[in-house]
Chain A
Amino acid sequence: MEENRHPLEVRDLYLRFGGLKALDGVSFHVKDGEILSIIGPNGAGKTCLMNCISGFYKPQQGEIVFEGKQITRMPPYKIAKLGISRTFQNIELYTGLSSLDNLMAARHIHMKRGALSACLFFGLTRREEIEHRKVVEDIIDLLELEPIRKKLVALLPYGQRKRVELGRALAAEPRLILLDEPMTGMNVEEKEDMARFVLDISELKGIPIILVEHDMEVVMDISDRVMVLDFGHKLLEGLPQDVKDNPEVIRAYLGAGEEEEE
């Protein structure tokens, strides 16, 4: 069975907003344990694709299959429960909670004690809290978040927030992570850190990662495969080296003129 061998299969996805075709028949798959980068000019439909996978947008046609299950029109919280976790282009953290609590909140799908037991707290709920705290502390350790563990997210600088968001995505113990521009707006050092974290996660957890990113250097360095979108079409998919040298990609990015060719 060729079909269900891959963790994520996207087939013939069409997403329209009125007359605008945001996604125009996009198909691709993600292999086990790989880092797949999606690149493309602004407005190419990268984030739309992410939103379709995590359930915000309901595509008009096509299907998304995660580990053999149809998730095409599922509500986002159910998709999260199945094991897809993500970060956002513009950080969407719980600003009123500390970094630690943001990560603990991501354990939501794994915690079982209800409200009544929570009110009594001592005993069952406390034991569960501590169990999950251990998992979260491992992630804090991995992403080097120790110094900001108890700080309110609202008070953190941008780069650290991005890292907390990555931590939150990881704390849900996903089997597929979507990273929507994790390195935008960072300086070189922060970018290097983030790239290192992404590689660490990929290596340690062995989970597939879909990365949307504009920084070509990073993309070419860390991804196993690259997919190029342009105006909702899939332009190309292949190894980073092949994509980099492809004339079509260069045209999509830089325009059709000859003067760009050096």
Chain B
Amino acid sequence: MRPCGVFDERYIQDIAIVRTWQHWLALIGALVILYTFPFYGSYYLISLINLLSILIIVILGLQIVMGYCGQISLGQPAFMAVGAYTSAILTATYGISFWIALPLSGLSAGIVGMISGAPSLRIKGFYLAMATLAAHFVIMWIIMHLKITGGIQGLHPPPPQIGNIVLDTEERMYYLIVTMMVISTFAARNLFRSKVGRAFVAINDNDLAAEVMGVNLYYYKLLAFFISCVYAGLGGSLWAHYYMVVHPEQFTFMHAIWYVGMVIIGGMGSIPGVFFGVLFVRLLDEIVLFSSPMLSSLFPWLGPGPGAALGLSAFGMALLLFIIFEPRGLAHRWEVIKESYRLYPFAY
């Protein structure tokens, strides 16, 4: 639905994403706030945005393969781990610069992801979910049992460096992480107004018709897994250098469920949905973090158990409610609000 009174005279205008001066204002305003934030934001909020941005990169990847291409992947944290470990091994063990390790980690995760996604050529839906789940456990098992990955202890990659500036504080990492997040979003959004993106959606909507219209299913399914896992790998690499530690506990099966939950809550097949999903689940987490100590102090007879379980049950509850009442996620709600705003004061 277009803003009222905005007419396009050329196709360039028609396919533009940012189309009115209000859009430009909002976009530039948001970027300015994002990039000046460390000057006035609190330490807590800066570190929160760092974490959110890394998650957004990873979930964008999942959105591409799951939301757009319709191939359920429970392996995203494992692919993230591949990226994180590649980056950590290259920098910590071999002393290679972070700036070379970053793209390589994306590439390695992409290749591992493509191999793990190969079953998608034969199977769909739940069966594919199981196959990627198996991939998750296999990858994590390998990581835990290899010598080079440091096993259960993990690795301690150094912070990235630009010239003489070591990016070892929250504020300094902030710029790197946020820039990566902005670039990834830009790339993902553009992907879905091109041939490749349409092919992904075509496979999701109707693979039979897609094939008859000339889409090579094998190639595009593998490409979806590859791109998705490049995102996961880049996110993983940033994660490793941001926390300066990688160990297997950071990439568990629970995270896989979480990530899938973020995509569902945010809205399948929507780039803004990724932001909504990550924000929502993370906020839920923060709320739980604050309220669970309260729970045990208010009702001491409950013991520490329910407080600890609150996070998981709140997440499970939210996911359930979304699947029942808003299966198309927050992004759909957002579209509805936008549309009614544009139509106001008319009903349709």
Contacts and interface: CB of A to CB of B under 8 A. Distances in A.
Q: Do A and B come from one complex?
A: yes
Interface of A: 54-56, 75-77, 80-81, 85-86, 88, 92-97, 101, 104-109, 111, 113-115, 117-121, 125-126, 128-130, 133-134, 137, 150, 168, 172
A95 B211 contact: no
Nearest to A76: B211
B311 to A, nearest CB: 33
15 contacts: A56-B208, A77-B211, A85-B212, A88-B209, A92-B209, A96-B269, A97-B201, A101-B198, A104-B198, A105-B202, A106-B213, A108-B198, A117-B194, A129-B194, A172-B214
Given A96-B201, A108-B199, A134 B194 contact: no
Contact of A113 (B11, B188, B194, B209): B194
B271 to A, nearest CB: 13
Interface of B: 2, 11-12, 14-15, 186-188, 190-191, 193-199, 201-202, 204-206, 208-217, 223, 227, 269
Given A107-B195, A119-B190, A93 B211 contact: no
Contact of A109 (B188, B196, B214, B223): B214
- Between A75, A76, A129, A150, the greatest number of chain B beta carbons within 10 A of the residue's beta carbon is seen for A76
A20 to B, nearest CB: 22
A96 B196 contact: no
B205 A97 contact: yes
Given A96-B269, A129-B193, A85 B198 contact: no
B204 A96 contact: yes
Contacts of A137: 11
B195 A108 contact: yes
B191 A119 contact: yes
Contact of B198 (A76, A97, A113, A126): A97
A105 B213 contact: yes
Nearest to A134: B11
Question: Nearest 10 pairs between A and B by C-beta?
Answer: A118-B194, A80-B214, A109-B214, A119-B187, A121-B190, A94-B205, A92-B209, A111-B195, A105-B198, A76-B211
A125 B213 contact: no
Contacts of A109: 213-214
A85 B190 contact: no
A95 B201 CA distance: 10
A104 B202 CA distance: 11
B213 A108 contact: yes
A130 B194 contact: no
B194 A80 contact: no
Of B2, B213, B215, B217, most buried by chain A (CB within 10 Å of CB) is B213
A81 B12 CA distance: 28
Nearest to A125: B194
Contacts of A92: 206, 208-209, 212
Given A97-B205, A111-B195, 12 more contacts: A76-B211, A77-B212, A77-B214, A94-B202, A94-B206, A106-B214, A109-B213, A118-B195, A118-B197, A119-B190, A129-B11, A129-B193
B3 to A, nearest CB: 13
Contacts of B195: 107-108, 111, 113, 118, 128
Contacts of A88: 209
Contacts of B15: 126, 129-130, 133
A55 B217 CA distance: 14
B10 to A, nearest CB: 8
Contacts of B194: 113, 117-118, 121, 125, 129
A148 B195 CA distance: 21
Nearest to A111: B195
A86 B205 contact: no
Contacts of B188: 119
A88 B196 CA distance: 24
Contact of B196 (A94, A95, A118, A130): A118
A95 B223 CA distance: 22
B190 A120 contact: yes
Nearest to A83: B214
A137 B209 CA distance: 21
Contacts of B269: 96
A108 B193 CA distance: 12
A69 to B, nearest CB: 16
Please indicate which of the listed interface residues B194, B196, B198, B216 has the most CB atoms of chain A within 10 Å of its own CB: B194
A75 B210 CA distance: 12
Given A113-B195, A118-B191, A121-B193, A108 B208 contact: no
B103 to A, nearest CB: 13
A109 B199 CA distance: 10
Contacts of A120: 187, 190
B199 A105 contact: yes
Contact of B223 (A104, A115, A133): A115
Which of A101, A114, A119, A121 has the most chain B CB atoms closer than 10 A to its own CB?
A119
B196 A115 contact: yes
A63 B198 CA distance: 33
A81 B209 contact: no
Contacts of A54: 212
Contacts of A115: 191, 196, 223, 227
Contacts of A130: 11-12, 15
